[in-house]
Structures are given as C-alpha cells and as structure tokens.
C-alpha cells in the first residue's frame, strides 16, 4: 500500500514498501516546469535542472556523481511542462547517502555565476542538437502551432537568446519561487523502513520555510479551422505530427483515451501500424499518443514517411481517424487494447523506479495515488461504445494541427490543404 505523509512545512512524502527488492528508487519531484516561465526567462526550469548538479551546500560536482555511481547507482533528472524531477536508483544499503545528496542538490544548490556562464553554452548546444533531429523538432513546431505565444508553445529548453540572457539571479529567483516544500513531493519505492526514512527526511528538510509557489498561465486552445506549419529542412524523410486538443490530467475519460490511442497507434497491433506500415509500406515510424496536463491535453499521431508518399500517408491516417469516429471499434481490438494496457501497467510497476515515478507524479498532480486495484476497476467499467463516443469528441477536424518537417513541394502542400479542408 502507498503511505502518504506531510511535513509541517507542506512537503509531501509518498512511499511504497516493495518486499524482496535489492534496490530503492528515490525521486524529488517539484511542480515547476516549462509552462511556469515568463518569456524572457524561457528555459529557466530546464537550466536549473542542469545547474544543480554543479554543486550544492554540502557536495561538490564530482562528489554528486561519484558517490552514487560509485556504488552502482544511477542518477538523473528531467524537466517537463509542469514538473522537474531529480531521481536515483541505488542498492538499498546506500539509501541514506543518496537521499542526502538528492535533497541537497534539489533544495540547496549553489548556483554560482561561473557555473551558470559555462552551462549556457552546453544548453545552447543541446537546443541545436534537438533542432537538428527532425523527430524532435517536429514536436516544437506542433506545440508552437497549437499554443502560440503561451509558454506551452515556446519549447522546454527556451532559445539560444533566452538561455544566453539568463543570469545567476534569474535562476536563484526561479528556484526560490518554485522550489517551495509545499510544491514538492518525495517518492520512495523499494524494501524500506518507513518510520526511519521519514525521520531522515524530517531531519534534512523540516527547516525549509513555508511559502506558496506561484501558479501558471491557463491554457487557451480556441480554434475554428484546421492549421498546418511546414519547417523546411533537407531530410531523407518527412516527419509528420498531427495534433489536436486532448484531455487534462484528472479527466474522467483518461483511461478511455489510453485505449483509443492504443487501438489507433499504440503498438504493432494498432490500426495505423497495420494500415500505414504493414499493408502499404508508407512509413517506418508510425504511432499515436496522448499528453495530459493540469488544464489541457494533446492527442497526436506521428509518422516518418518517404518524401514522395507524404500525401498518400496523410490521407490514409485521416481516413483511419474518420473510420473510428464514424464506425467505432471491434470487440476484439477493444479487448486486446485493454489487456495490453493493463499488462504494461502491471509489468512496469514491478520495477522500483517506474513505481516511484508513477506514485510521485500522482501525488504532485492529484494529491493522492490510485492503487492498481482502483485503476483496474476503472478499466473494467469501460465499454467499446465509450471509445467511439470519446473519438467523436476528440477527433474534430476543425481542430487539427499538422506539423511537417522536411521538404514539402507546392503540389504536396496544396493536396495537404485540401485534405485538411482549408
């Protein structure tokens, strides 16, 4: 069972005792990501994720890595639109020191000017690297198309200009504002002694001051006609990403959406994989996914197609979306999709790291954790008719947003516009 506790300063702790494990996964997740930044400091959350590893109150840069990796552990971090997470997986006997290091870099980073100046060039090179990778770049093109000047449309890492323009003071101010104890969750999964671990956390972090973190700008996805954007690049294939508004994090139909994305393009048994790749050989990479945020979401179909087969592939994708919306799905594919998702969930939660991330994000976003039993009960209530109803709500051709990266001819662009009805 999950055990949730809260310190007096608002810091939340969620633990799950997984018996007979040799590892413990530990994460510190903060409600601070790309959508919490003003335009002038776009990329601050991601920059901060980098800079904390340069040193903290009690640990030097080399010690942070060596003291965890030196005992066989793994240490990493990620930044998303609404959270930043610092995490580690270590042999159980090294938990105490690993927790002390992770808590130190998350809540007590040095952030000195010399490190900030040096890391700017590293991050700018990272931005260039992803811009050179069409499969990554097409995501930025779509998000800009959908969300425009809103922080969600400006890219997680920011731009070379915003990164180079950021100062130590900017990062310190962002950290002070958002890394409040009430805006963070510590998650721990593995064979643990809960009371001892809680005492350790209290000793290290109960002195953090009580304060409220700022919120984010609400999303606005008003759209009356389909849109498209082409990023002209010399590529061996055209990368396509078709996106439309999806569901928010806590939406009641989230598990229905998981089934819909699986049926359309979640695995090798999916409709798009079968029709676009297997039967016609129009793409190597083809799939469907959903992203859930606190007040909005994204439903997307992606593909990498032969330059000459763009229109044929896109037309087929739209045809399959229309079929699901009009005709629904078969009982067989519905059951296979449900069984696949349940199986993937059960397999994933056997791992201490996956389990830690699962429950920590739940607590950060919803202030609770759904048990596996509760999730399975949610899936059991869904019918195949529910999936068609959801498809009819989500697949709205007036709200299609198509991002293309590659060399698109005028004739192809004309045909794409015709399919989109614009």
Residue with tokens 């990796």: 69
Find out whether 243 and 396 touch, Cβ atoms under 8 Å. no
Q: Give the count of beta carbons closer than 10 Å to the beta carbon of residue 252.
A: 8
Note the Cα 232 to chain centre separation in Å.
27
Sort strands 12-17 and 184-190 into parallel, antiparallel or unpaired: parallel
Given the residues 37, 49, 119, 361, select the one marked as catalytic.
49
Quick check: is 397 catalytic?
A: no
Q: How far apart are CA 310 and CA 304, in angstroms?
A: 9
- Give the number of C-alpha atoms closer than 13 A to the C-alpha of residue 169, restricted to the C-beta side: 1
Stated as kind and residue range, the H or E segment containing 98 is helix 95-107
Token pair listed for 387: 């999936």
- Residues in CB range of 16: below 8 A, 6 or more apart: 1, 2, 3, 188, 189, 355, 356, 359
Sign of the four-CA dihedral 379, 381, 383, 386: negative
Sort strands 401-406 and 227-232 into parallel, antiparallel or unpaired: parallel
Q: How far apart are CA 31 and CA 180, in angstroms?
A: 9
Q: How far apart are CA 355 and CA 59, in angstroms?
A: 28
Q: Which residues are known catalytic residues?
A: 49
């Amino acid at each position: 069972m999950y055990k949730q506790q809260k310190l007096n300063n608002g810091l939340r702790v969620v633990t799950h005792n997984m018996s007979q494990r040799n590892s413990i996964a530990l994460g510190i997740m903060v409600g601070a990501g790309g959508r919490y930044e003003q335009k002038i400091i776009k990329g601050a959350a991601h920059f901060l994720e980098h800079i904390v590893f340069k040193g903290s109150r009690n640990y030097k840069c080399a010690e942070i890595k060596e003291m965890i990796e030196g005992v066989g552990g793994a240490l990493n971090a990620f930044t998303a639109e609404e959270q930043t997470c610092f995490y580690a997986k270590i042999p159980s006997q090294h938990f105490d020191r690993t927790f002390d290091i992770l808590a130190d870099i998350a809540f007590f980073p040095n952030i000195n000017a010399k490190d900030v100046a040096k890391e700017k060039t590293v991050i700018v090179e990272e931005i260039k690297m992803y811009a050179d990778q069409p499969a990554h770049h097409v995501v930025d093109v779509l998000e800009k198309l959908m969300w425009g000047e809103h922080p969600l449309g400006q890219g997680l890492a920011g731009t070379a200009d915003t990164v180079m323009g950021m100062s130590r003071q900017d990062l310190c101010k962002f950290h002070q504002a958002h890394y409040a104890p009430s805006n963070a969750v510590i998650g721990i999964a593995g064979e643990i002694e809960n009371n001892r671990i809680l005492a350790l956390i209290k000793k290290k972090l109960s002195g953090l001051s009580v304060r409220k973190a700022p919120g984010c700008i609400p999303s606005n996805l008003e759209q009356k006609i389909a849109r498209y954007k082409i990023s002209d690049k010399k590529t061996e294939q055209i990368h396509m990403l078709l996106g439309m508004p999806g569901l928010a994090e806590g939406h009641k139909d989230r598990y229905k959406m998981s089934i819909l994305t699986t049926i359309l393009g979640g695995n090798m048994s999916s409709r798009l994989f079968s029709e676009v790749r297997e039967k016609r050989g129009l793409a190597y990479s083809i799939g469907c996914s959903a992203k859930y945020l606190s007040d909005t979401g994204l439903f997307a179909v992606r593909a990498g197609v032969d330059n000459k087969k763009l229109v044929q592939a896109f037309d087929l994708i739209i045809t399959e979306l229309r079929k699901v919306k009009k005709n629904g799905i078969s009982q067989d594919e519905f059951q296979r999709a449900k069984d696949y998702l349940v199986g993937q969930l059960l397999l994933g939660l056997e791992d201490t790291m996956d389990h830690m991330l699962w429950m920590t994000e739940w607590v950060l976003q919803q202030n609770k954790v759904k048990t596996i039993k509760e999730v399975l009960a949610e899936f059991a209530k869904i019918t195949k008719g529910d999936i068609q109803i959801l498809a009819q709500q989500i697949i709205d051709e007036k709200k299609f947003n198509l991002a293309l990266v590659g060399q698109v001819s005028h004739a192809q662009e004309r045909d794409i516009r015709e399919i989109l009805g614009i």
